[in-house]
Chains A and B, each alone.
Chain A
């Protein structure tokens, strides 16, 4: 499917979303935080099943975290981006919509300290068991001395 077709399919279906097509086979969707589940649910209903991964970016100066959900569908990599507060980073689990997202949610929670609500398995995934709580290595204020 051409990326423009994908854009046409999603455009306007959920209020507040902004779609950008930087090149062929890449669609970037910017969604407001409260619309995240709606967007993902809509995509799932279209037939999307594959979550490639979930990235997070620490925008410390702007006091935001960016969370990006990279999904693959019909030759396109669709990235859904939301911005959440850095002071109190909470986001709902998407495993109800995409069960395969679990390892990536655990990774984001472990390394960034973004709390994922109702995550089916809240254990650490990459950090050792005796890693101090409250220390999140991938945040910008954590430096390796």
Chain B
């Protein structure tokens, strides 16, 4: 019987931004089957939230992910506000949506760059990341930060969009629209790009639905599944936008969906700036959260994000369950890798836009010393400092 060679890819590998292991069973240059092992980056966030107050959790939850941090805090705040029965002012909802869409744009532009790098096209990476800086500038203008915006709080947002910034924001949006249309043109016309994305990582519609894929991954397989349209939250009920899908079911389709989404985001941002309602940006939230539970969903850049928050009336939550979109796309990733050339593994893996820091969360264990002791952040920090001779 012919034995396939198993190529382990990772956990340290130049094509992964985060540690992950793919065990690829190959026959020549083609992948026969794939097994994915994540969890090298487990941090214990869900457990940690049970030991912190709701306000402290705002800061912790923001750091679940760097690139979709706003999604997480937003989803969490929505859940707590639902348990409290708190009505958030309209202006705050609009601002939350605005930042959320900017975040989506910045995440997708980031992905274009990474995808370009995966297929050996660094020029594309340089161009898209330069334009992404414009989005980061706009985020910094409105929230004061480029990452981890610290904008949300239970009851609203902590900063307002100033009148004098509107002009710059609008100009930024105009610039980004022009650039994104150019990228849309490039990805539809450039021959070498097409050669490396069309027909790859096929995910038939039925399989995508059966394995519960989410986000641009499932929309690239022709399924109109978008939390913003299906289960509107924040200001999405008032905004005009279309859900972008592609019927090609391949990597190219997912790229097309992301580019289309950036254009839709720009459209929404313009509408938000034009129709921003007046009023307060936050209401005072009660200090105690009564017993209760809530299930909230959010369309993060990578797909459906779902939070289940349960309160027992105490000052720390009973349970916060977080399911990030990348975990939902694991099963389909294994399927998509079957029959793919080794050379295409990076781009196919990357097409689901993996964000593993969102997916794996558990307690710190020091297994480099063969010890199964569970340690706290403080102890680790101290040990790290001792090793470096800092006291």
Contact = CB atoms under 8 A, between A and B. Distances in A.
Q: Are A and B direct contacts in the complex by CB distance below 8 Å?
A: yes
A117 to B, nearest CB: 20
A103 B331 contact: yes
B46 interface: yes
Q: Is the interface of B mostly helix, strand, loop or mixed?
A: mixed
Contacts of A138: 46-47
B388 interface: no
Given A57-B318, A57-B319, A52 B306 contact: yes
A144 B374 contact: yes
Contacts of A23: 82
A133 to B, nearest CB: 11
A98 interface: yes
> Counting chain B CB atoms within 10 Å of each CB, which of A53, A104, A126 scores highest?
A53
Interface residues of B, number: 42
Contacts of B210: 49, 99-100
Interface string A111-137: 100000000000011111011100001
B39 interface: yes
Contact of B42 (A57, A104, A127): A127
A22 B304 CA distance: 21
B367 A128 contact: yes
Given A75-B231, A77-B297, A103-B331, A126 B42 contact: yes
A130 B368 CA distance: 11
Contacts of A132: 372
B44 A128 contact: no
A50 B212 contact: yes
> Counting chain B CB atoms within 10 Å of each CB, which of A26, A103, A132 scores highest?
A103
Contacts of A52: 212, 297, 304, 306, 323, 328
B218 to A, nearest CB: 9
Interface in B318-361: 318-319, 321, 323, 327-328, 330-331, 360-361
B5 interface: no
A109 B38 CA distance: 16
A144 B230 contact: no
Interface in A41-79: 49-53, 55-58, 68, 70, 72, 75-77, 79
Contacts of A131: 365, 372
A25 interface: yes
17 contacts: A22-B294, A26-B295, A49-B209, A49-B212, A50-B209, A51-B212, A52-B306, A56-B321, A57-B310, A75-B230, A79-B308, A98-B212, A100-B212, A100-B213, A100-B328, A130-B365, A144-B48
Interface of A: 22-23, 25-26, 49-53, 55-58, 68, 70, 72, 75-77, 79, 98-104, 107, 111, 124-128, 130-132, 137-138, 142, 144-145
